[in-house]
Amino acid sequence: MKFDLAAFRPLRTGLVVVAALTVAGLALRPVESPAWESLRADQPALKLDSIQGALGQGVTVGLLGGFRAIVADFFWLKTNSVWGDNDLPATQTYVHLVTAIDPRPLYFWLNGSRMIAYDMPNWRIQAAGGYDAVPQSVQRKFDEEQSAVAVDYLKSGLGYHPDEPLLYIEIANVYLNRLKDNATAAEYYLKAAQQPDAPHYAARIYAELLRRLGRNREAYDWLKKTYAELPKGGDASFTALPDVVLERIRELEQELGIPESEAYQP
């Protein structure tokens, strides 16, 4: 068989193209890297740990771009429609779909998790015969199962918004209100309070939970530290409520038996 060199021309062309693109990629990396690091720092969706989540985001951002917002909004309307019908599987699916399409708005994460944690246990209890017919242990099981789904959902939200105090607060509320687990709720309120731009009430509720857990000394130290950092005047003091915090410090001093001479001096 005669060896025909011309038959290999497409292969040679292909190899040259790949080699040239590799060289170009290497040469342009120093131009690309600083810009990419800067961009990625502001877009947590681009540094997701989950490869599946990152793949989904890459495709939706690439193909839908800004249309993600309107597509997600339409699916949010659909979510509300199936939620009104108490359709648990559909609601849970749509809630996840909406944030898969557009994970940026907190509104979807917060309201979606509330549907899962607060409404769905009731639907399941109703479907099983109602509150009178369903034993407390089964009701508790429904609460635990739905709360676990909601907490997982909110934790995936933290993948996109790692510094968002409202997501930590929402997780804390699920533990506090649905599972009556004050210790875990306190942990998440502490995380919320430690985030930049955290609402002032997160720190106050953390201290209150410490009191409920009987950890008065920790609550006292925490409130002293919090009070020192609170704005004492202007519009910000309306939400910071420094007077309320000081009042609680005084209450704790009484409960802890701290003498007046050692009392906190603001």
Instruction: Give the interface with another protein as residue ranges (CB under 8 A).
Output: 9-10, 13-14, 16-18, 20-22, 24-26, 28-29, 31-32, 34-36, 38-40, 42-43, 46-47, 51, 54-55, 58-59, 61-70, 72-74, 76-77, 102, 104-108
Task: Compute the least distance from the CB of residue 46 to another protein, in Å.
Answer: 6
Which residue, 48 or 210, has its beta carbon nearer to another protein?
48
* CA 180 to each of CA 16, 51, 60, 64, 196: distance values in angstroms, whole numbers, following the listed order: 65, 34, 38, 42, 27
Task: Compute the least distance from the CB of residue 236 to another protein, in Å.
Answer: 16
Task: Compute the least distance from the CB of residue 61 to another protein, in Å.
Answer: 6
97: tokens are 């779909």
Reported residue count of the chain is 266
Task: Compute the least distance from the CB of residue 150 to another protein, in Å.
Answer: 18
Instruction: List, as one string, the DSSP characters of 102-134.
Output: ----HHHHHHHHHIIIIIHHHHHHHHTT-TTTS
Which residue, 48 or 120, has its beta carbon nearer to another protein?
48
Task: Compute the least distance from the CB of residue 166 to another protein, in Å.
Answer: 13
- Cα–Cα distance measured from residue 181 to residue 171, given in angstroms and rounded to the nearest whole number: 11
Which residue, 40 or 217, has its beta carbon nearer to another protein?
40
Which residue, 77 or 256, has its beta carbon nearer to another protein?
77
Task: Compute the least distance from the CB of residue 6 to another protein, in Å.
Answer: 10
* CA 154 to each of CA 117, 158, 190: distance values in angstroms, whole numbers, following the listed order: 11, 6, 16
Query: Sign of the C-alpha dihedral, residues 75, 81, 84, 85?
Result: negative
Q: Is 189:211 a contact under the CB 8 Å cutoff?
A: no
Which residue, 54 or 258, has its beta carbon nearer to another protein?
54
Which residue, 16 or 228, has its beta carbon nearer to another protein?
16
Residue 260: strand, helix, or coil: helix
Task: Compute the least distance from the CB of residue 84 to another protein, in Å.
Answer: 16
Q: What are the residues whose beta carbons fall under 8 Å from the beta carbon of 65, sequence distance 6 or more?
A: none
- Cα–Cα distance measured from residue 149 to residue 5, given in angstroms and rounded to the nearest whole number: 62
Which residue, 99 or 226, has its beta carbon nearer to another protein?
99
